[in-house]
Amino acid sequence: MRTRLGKLVERLGGQLTGDAEAEVSGIAPLDSADASHITFLSNPKFRNQAGQTKAAALILSPADDAALAGVYGGSRIVTDNPYAYFARAAQFFVELYAEPVRPGIHPAAVVHPEARVDAGATIGPNVTVEAGAAIAAGAVIDAGCFIGRNARVGEGTHFFANVAFHAGCEIGKRGIIHSGAVIGADGFGFARENGVYIKIPQTGRVVIGDDVEIGANTTVDRGALADTIIEDGVKLDNQIQIGHNCQIGAHTAMAGCVGVAGSAKIGKYCTFGGAAMVLGHLTVVDNVHVSSGSMVTRSILEPGQYTGFYPLAKNAEWEKSAAIVRNLGTMREKIRELEKTIKSLTEKK
Amino acid sequence: MRTRLGKLVERLGGQLTGDAEAEVSGIAPLDSADASHITFLSNPKFRNQAGQTKAAALILSPADDAALAGVYGGSRIVTDNPYAYFARAAQFFVELYAEPVRPGIHPAAVVHPEARVDAGATIGPNVTVEAGAAIAAGAVIDAGCFIGRNARVGEGTHFFANVAFHAGCEIGKRGIIHSGAVIGADGFGFARENGVYIKIPQTGRVVIGDDVEIGANTTVDRGALADTIIEDGVKLDNQIQIGHNCQIGAHTAMAGCVGVAGSAKIGKYCTFGGAAMVLGHLTVVDNVHVSSGSMVTRSILEPGQYTGFYPLAKNAEWEKSAAIVRNLGTMREKIRELEKTIKSLTEKK
Amino acid sequence: MRTRLGKLVERLGGQLTGDAEAEVSGIAPLDSADASHITFLSNPKFRNQAGQTKAAALILSPADDAALAGVYGGSRIVTDNPYAYFARAAQFFVELYAEPVRPGIHPAAVVHPEARVDAGATIGPNVTVEAGAAIAAGAVIDAGCFIGRNARVGEGTHFFANVAFHAGCEIGKRGIIHSGAVIGADGFGFARENGVYIKIPQTGRVVIGDDVEIGANTTVDRGALADTIIEDGVKLDNQIQIGHNCQIGAHTAMAGCVGVAGSAKIGKYCTFGGAAMVLGHLTVVDNVHVSSGSMVTRSILEPGQYTGFYPLAKNAEWEKSAAIVRNLGTMREKIRELEKTIKSLTEKK
């Protein structure tokens, strides 16, 4: 299967210089692309490499186009954001090659008669859909998933195999939930009495907006009384834990292994590096970027980049530094004594 | 469905001042409760808010009752631990509204003829129960769970969807295991020979007491030769890893993303904040509290609160501090030289 | 079931001194072994204990044998690596007692007619195998697993219950994947445009070598364009995250909760302690050992042991040290001023 460059530009925009009738069959990196591929230049430092690519066509920015127009002999598609264009072109080719989805309920699925599954939805084998659940057109629920009572899955949303999506939870349109993710397990809420924990029932839901992607084995707990909220466009990587009653602002992205404790309120357009942790009941405003491995222990009320992890070292050096860290108080005390001694020395004069 | 205040107090205790015939339909926070709700005051700093709540009834402590008796016009339930009372009241309402469980084995479950499933147990669709497994009365095994050979599930214990509970493992009464949890996978045990790992078979079990709750996607490994032990009343949040041959003492609670390496022995009534990590073969005594994000690298033999993570900062400040941490040895050296210089200065005099 | 010592040595090697006809039924630690057991001494510091063990036979090194020959009365098996010998002997007994596997496809499995399942493979109940997948002889796929389109599972590889192994991924021979692991979910790849994320399709695979073990709820993402590679003999514990396009070198082992961000290239024979984290696009050479809880933020180009976590302390001490860490810049400034003052003092003289 191949596609004409002209068709691609018609669909995705950008300005084509070159042969609209040329056909390409896929996308490839600058160095491995051949005449059947389209490629892209998203960083000017690779201009030299781009000048030598064998690709049939090159996606690039106006500035790079000016520099490469006389150098690169293939077709050029000029766009303000070549990397975003590449992403859309790659989506285009994936659709081109994708197995056609055949809507319907697999005979080995168990769908409760009181569930509402749209005729345009696809339910795989060994799936369980409980009473009252609603699955919209274009949704695809792969093998082994569980959809609890009264849960709602929006149009075009795709659950990969073995997702658990619990009672009453909701996800909007065009979402993706990867295998092993658990949405709507009970939050971790207990009252303590004489050293023993008494469970506080978790009766809130998880409410997820449109265009949200949730990674493999990630967990998002239901709220205690109110709901846990994941706003539009949020992207969560694998192995993430989101506690009950959290709110994650629109278009915020979190890398793998991040943990957010209960009732934290995270702003929009934030990013969290891998394994960053956020304590409960904190507020993080919009446009905050937390580095990997950092522990957020207080609210962050000002946009910016925040970091907090202990620097890696050869083990022997670490042992030395760590021992001093443990005694930093003593070190400060010594400095104070030195200051005093010097002061008395200078005063004597 | 509504319940009389009198009935609630009859069931849960506490001293009622007000109308025993008044009916409530649920529980709500101080600020959003209306005349159909009961609410609670567990922290004296919210007394003002409590005085103005529109709830039909207020759960509160004797001290708060003395302060609010003349202010709040609704019914009052006085108890020593209002938060625990709230938890029990919330459980009461959840039971009131719960769908009735219909014991039995779903036709789409696969239960081995040599498994023993009590007539009062409930087995959902797409569940697999292997030979020799025993599931007690009142147990509920939701869709997609796996119960291995000779495993035992106690009375009233609830497995949410897609739990894997492996061969020979045991859990007591009234337990809860959330979706995606894996109990009894092999521990991580290898002998090394010429750089290559040789698997040490893991033939111990996981033995879990009564009233234990285990979070979504949490993993508890089986022992190598002896068993991994989780004692009564332990509460584990999501995404936790418990290594082989660990022992977790009764009524200890661990927040999300905690990791405990093999053969660690944790005491009773401990708490571990989110993402705290415990190295293997350590001992932690009773009543130890480890802060979030802390790495426990040595045994803790004295009760108390322990902490160890690097403080968060604006990235620019972190870069400065982290660079110094890497060179703390040099800084200590400078202080020593300063001390010497000053000593020689003072001696000269 | 019992086995003769002679048979064990015939199978596993080592030099037997004692009664080849003596029969043992299993393996046990030095202190709990009785006359029906074989035991092992892998550390000379337990020689005294070994001298008193009641086991029928003792696996030990030549040096320990010289020391214990006159002390211990049972049979002795001498070998250069007693711990590796123990591992193999334990495997031997596990096979002896194992339930016989009965190859075939369980009637409650859903296997696509275009999948190729070898007659010697075993497919459990509630498993889904998609079109084009190939499962080799001796492979065992337990209940609830998902095997995607065109995936390949090698000879003798065992998937425990509820594994998701996605389209196109491959694993070699004698592998083990534990419950809840997800192999081949999409990597975390997005282009950003006006603050909104556009998904980059992940079209690479996960390619796993022979003799690899992957722990419960561990996730290994498929590559973006190229593949994610796990080489022969790699051992991954539970709750690990491996990002897209990573390469993990042969015979490297990672303990629980480790995270490796995308495109990291890890060498052979490395070890990573629990909860160690590796940032993306880094290189770690062969024979690097990273301590638990360490964040690898730059490439490691020299073998050795590396560490980086903040030392644990009583909370009160931590508060003091952490406050100073936040102000280390000030402390260095003070030292510099002290140096200047002293310099001017000495110069005046």
pLDDT tens-digit readout, B113-172: 999 999 999 999 999 999 999 999 999 999 999 999 999 999 999 999 999 999 999 999
Any chain C CB within 8 A of the CB of B335? yes
pLDDT tier at C313, thresholds 50, 70, 90: very high
Subunit contact C294:A312, Cβ cutoff 8 A:
yes
**Cβ contact, residue pair B331, C331, below 8 Å:** yes
- Residue C27 near residue C46, CB atoms below 8 Å: no
Which of A213, A311, A323 lies at the smallest CB-CB distance from C308?
A311
A346 pLDDT more than 90: no
How many residues are listed for chain A in this entry?
Answer: 349
Can you tell me the mean pLDDT for C118-146? 98
Same domain for B108 and B128, yes or no, is yes
> How many interchain CB pairs under 8 A, A with B?
217
Strands A26-27 and A37-40: parallel
**Looking at residue C45, which CATH number applies to its domain?**
3.40.1390.10
Instruction: Assess A190–B contact: CB distance below 8 Å, yes or no.
Output: yes
d(CA B3, CA C325) in angstroms, rounded, equals: 56
Read off the pLDDT band of A347 (50, 70, 90).
Answer: confident
Q: Are residues C45 and C161 in the same domain?
A: no
Whether A267 contacts chain C with CB within 8 A: no
Q: What is the pLDDT of residue B346?
A: 84
- Tell me which residue in B144, B338, B345 faces A128 most closely, judged by beta carbons: B144
C320 at interface of A, judged by CB pairs closer than 8 A: yes
Q: Does residue A203 sit in the same domain as residue A91? A: no
Per-residue confidence (pLDDT) for residue A349, from 0 to 100 = 62
The 3-class SS string of C52-71 reads HCCCCEEEECHHHHHHHCCC
Closest CA to A146 of B159, C110, C184, C238: B159
Query: Of the candidates C50, C69, C97, which is a domain's last residue?
Result: C97
CB contact C309 to B (< 8 Å)? yes
B neighbours by CB contacts (3+ pairs under 8 Å):
A, C
Shared-domain flag, residues B156 and B271? yes
Give me the total of CB pairs closer than 8 Å, taking one residue from chain A and one from chain C: 217
The encoded tokens of residue A10 equal: 């018609």
- Is A254's Cβ below 8 Å from some Cβ in C? no
Partner-chain contact C164 A176, CB within 8 Å: no
Distance CA A229, CA A247 (A): 5
Question: Is A162 close to C149, i.e. CB distance below 8 A?
Answer: no
Q: Which residues of A touch B29 (CB under 8 A)?
A: 225
Q: Over the stretch A241-291, which tens digit does the pLDDT of each residue have?
A: 999 999 999 999 999 999 999 999 999 999 999 999 999 999 999 999 999
| Helical H segments across chain C, by residue range | 5-12, 47-52, 62-68, 82-97, 315-326, 328-348
Nearest CB partner across the interface for A312, out of C191, C308, C317: C308
* SS3 state of residue C326: helix
Query: Are B249 and B113 members of one domain?
Result: yes
- In angstroms, the CA B294 to CA B309 distance is 5
Q: Please name the amino acid found at residue A290.
A: V
The model's confidence at residue C41, banded by pLDDT at 50, 70 and 90, is very high
Order of strands across the sheet that contains A15-17: A15-17, A75-78, A57-60, A37-40, A26-27
Question: Does A107 reach chain B within 8 Å, measured CB to CB?
Answer: no
Dihedral sign computed on CA atoms, order C169, C173, C179, C181: negative
**Statement to judge: residues B42 and B173 lie in one domain:** no
Task: Find chain A residues with C-beta within 8 A of B178's C-beta.
Answer: 182, 185-186
The DSSP element (H or E) to which C171 belongs, if any, is strand C170-171
Question: What integer best gives the mean pLDDT of chain C?
Answer: 96
Give the per-residue pLDDT at B349: 62
- Over chain A, what HEC string results? CCEEHHHHHHHHCCEEECCCCCEECEECCCCCCCCCEEEECCCHHHHHHHHCCCCCEEEECHHHHHHHCCCCCCEEEECCCHHHHHHHHHHHHHHHHCCCCCCEECCCCEECCCCEECCCCEECCCCEECCCCEECCCCEECCCCEECCCCEECCCCEECCCCEECCCCEECCCCEECCCCEEEECCCCEEEECCEEEECCCCCCEEECCCCEECCCCEEECCCCCCEEECCCCEECCCCEECCCCEECCCCEECCCCEECCCCEECCCCEECCCCEECCCCEECCCEEECCCCEECCCECCCEEEECCCCCEEHHHHHHHHHHHHCHHHHHHHHHHHHHHHHHHHHHC
- Contacts of residue A206 in chain B, CB cutoff 8 Å? none
Phi-psi region of C346 (alpha: psi -120 to 50; beta: other; left: phi over 0): alpha
Q: C318 touching A, CB under 8 A?
A: no
> Residue C65 in contact with residue C77, Cβ under 8 Å?
no
- DSSP-derived pairing of the beta strands B122-123 and A57-60: unpaired
Does residue C322 belong to the interface with chain B, where contact is any CB pair within 8 Å? yes
Count CA atoms within 13 Å of residue B339 on its CB side.
12
Q: Which residues contact A3 (CB under 8 A, 6 or more apart)?
A: A23, A24, A25, A92, A93, A96
CA-closest candidate to residue A241, choices A219, A223, A209: A219
**Cα of B2 to nearest chain A Cα, Å:** 17
Q: Cβ(A177)–Cβ(A158) under 8 Å?
A: yes
Work out the pLDDT band at C100, boundaries 50, 70, 90: confident
pLDDT at residue number B86: 96
Comparing alpha-carbon positions, the chain B residue that sits nearest to C319 is B307
Residue-number span of the structural domain to which A322 is assigned:
315-348
Residue B202 lies in a domain: yes
Chain C interface mutation, best of A30, A310, A312, A343, highest count of C Cβ atoms under 10 Å:
A312
Query: Considering CB atoms only, which of B146, B195, B201 is closest to C144?
Result: B146
Residues of A carrying an active site annotation: 244
**pLDDT grade for A212, boundaries at 50, 70 and 90:** very high
The type of residue at C215 is G
Is B116 part of any domain? Answer: yes
CATH code assigned at B200 = 2.160.10.10
Q: What is the DSSP letter of C197?
A: E
pLDDT < 50: residue spans in chain B: none
What Cα–Cα distance (Å) separates residue B204 from each residue in B163, B226, C30? Answer: 20, 5, 17
Cβ C198–A338 below 8 Å, yes or no?
A: no
In whole angstroms, give the CA distance from residue C241 to residue C218: 6
Query: Best of B237, B258, B319 to disrupt the A interface by mutation (most A CBs within 10 Å)?
Result: B237
Tell me how many domains chain A contains. Answer: 3
| Measured CA angle at C148 (ends C146, C153), to 5 deg | 85
CB contacts, 8 Å: C311 with chain B = 297, 308
Taking the CB of residue A127, how many other CB atoms lie within 10 A of it? Answer: 30
Question: Is C210's pLDDT higher than 90?
Answer: yes
For residue A167, the tally of other CB atoms under 10 A from its CB is 17
Sheet holding A206-208, edge to edge: A116-117, A134-135, A152-153, A170-171, A206-208, A228-230, A247-248, A265-266, A283-284
User: Are residues C80 and C112 both part of a single domain?
Assistant: no
B117 and B205 together in one domain: yes
Measure CB to CB from residue A144 to each of B124, B144, B322 and give the nearest one. B144
Distance CA C306, CA C304 (A): 6
Is C2 or C178 the better-scoring residue by pLDDT? C178
CA B337 vs CA A326, A335, A344, B184: distances in Å? 21, 12, 19, 57
- Contact yes or no for C43/C82 (Cβ under 8 A): no
In whole angstroms, what is the distance from residue C163 CA to residue A180 CA? 9
- Whether A87 and C198 lie within 8 Å, measured CB to CB: yes
Task: Identify the pLDDT of residue C341.
Answer: 92
* Backbone dihedral angles phi then psi of residue B143, each to the nearest 5 degrees: -50, 140
pLDDT higher than threshold 80 for residue A348? no
B313 to C292: CB separation less than 8 angstroms, yes or no: no
The residue behind tokens 């005063």 is: A347
State whether residue C144 sits within 8 Å of chain B by CB: yes
Of B215, B256, B331, the CB nearest to A261: B256
**pLDDT score of C345:** 86
SS3 sequence of B277-317: EECCCCEECCCEEECCCCEECCCECCCEEEECCCCCEEHHH
Query: Hey, is the C-beta of B73 within 8 angstroms of any chain A C-beta?
Result: no
d(CA C139, CA B44) in angstroms, rounded, equals 62
Phi-psi region of A170 (alpha: psi -120 to 50; beta: other; left: phi over 0): beta
Q: Which tokens in the block code for residue C332?
A: 């260095």
- For residue B188, being part of any structural domain is answered with yes
Q: Is residue B205 part of a domain?
A: yes
Beta-carbon separation of C84 and B192 below 8 A: yes
* Statement to judge: residues B49 and B133 lie in one domain: no
Which has the closest alpha carbon to B249: B288, B222, B290, B214?
Answer: B288
Chain C residues in contact with A314 (beta carbon < 8 A): 304-307
Count of H-run helices and E-run strands, chain C: 6, 40
Residue C13 has pLDDT above 90, yes or no: yes
Out of C112, C166, C244, C251, pick the active-site residue: C244
Q: Touching check for B239 and chain A: CB below 8 Å?
A: yes
Could you tell me if B277 and B181 lie in one domain?
yes
* Integer Cα distance of B295 and C312 in angstroms: 6
CB contact, 8 Å: B340 with chain A?
A: no
Instruction: Give how far C185 is from chain A: nearest CA, Å.
Output: 6
**Chain C residue nearest residue B162, CA to CA:** C162
How far is CA A316 from each of CA A313, A321, B278, C308, rounded to the nearest angstrom?
A: 8, 9, 21, 11
- Please tell me which residue of chain B has the smallest CA distance to C294: B295
Give chain C positions within 8 Å (CB) of B305. Answer: 314-315
Least-confidence region, from A27-36, A76-85, A158-167, C132-141: A27-36
User: Are both A132 and A51 inside the same structural domain?
Assistant: no
- C299 and C341 inside one domain: no
C-alpha torsion sign, points B34, B35, B37, B39: positive
Strand order from edge to edge, sheet including B228-230:
B116-117, B134-135, B152-153, B170-171, B206-208, B228-230, B247-248, B265-266, B283-284
> Reduced to 3 states, what is the DSSP secondary structure of residue B120?
coil
pTM strictly above 0.90? yes
- Cα–Cα distances in angstroms (integers) from residue C76 to residues B291, C55, C85, C316, in the given order: 49, 10, 13, 54
Give the integer Cα–Cα distance in Å for B290 and B281. Answer: 17
Chains in contact with chain C (at least 3 beta-carbon pairs closer than 8 A): A, B
Angle at C345 between CA C343 and CA C348, to 5 degrees: 105
Complex ipTM, two decimals? 0.96
Inter-axis angle of helices B315-326 and C315-326, nearest 10: 110
Report the pLDDT value the prediction gives residue B1, as an integer from 0 to 100.
77
pLDDT over threshold 70, residue C349: no
Pairwise CB contact (< 8 Å): C162 & B162: yes
Q: How far is A204 from chain C (nearest CA, A)?
A: 26
**pLDDT (average), residues C326-332:** 92
- Are B297 and B259 spatial neighbours (Cβ–Cβ below 8 Å)? no
Q: Is the dihedral of CA B32, B35, B39, B45 positive or negative?
A: positive
Q: How far is C10 from chain B (nearest CA, A)?
A: 19
Three-class secondary structure of residue B324 per DSSP = helix
Is residue A301 within 8 angstroms of chain B, CB to CB? no
Nearest to B180 among A182, A201, A291 (CB): A182
Query: Residue C286 and residue C292: Cα distance in Å, rounded?
Result: 18
Interface test with B, best of A241, A284, A337 (most B CBs within 10 A): A241
Q: Which of C86, C91, C315 sits opposite B305 (nearest CB)?
A: C315
The residues of B annotated with a catalytic role in the active site are 244
Q: Which residue has 């070998």 as its token pair?
A: C79
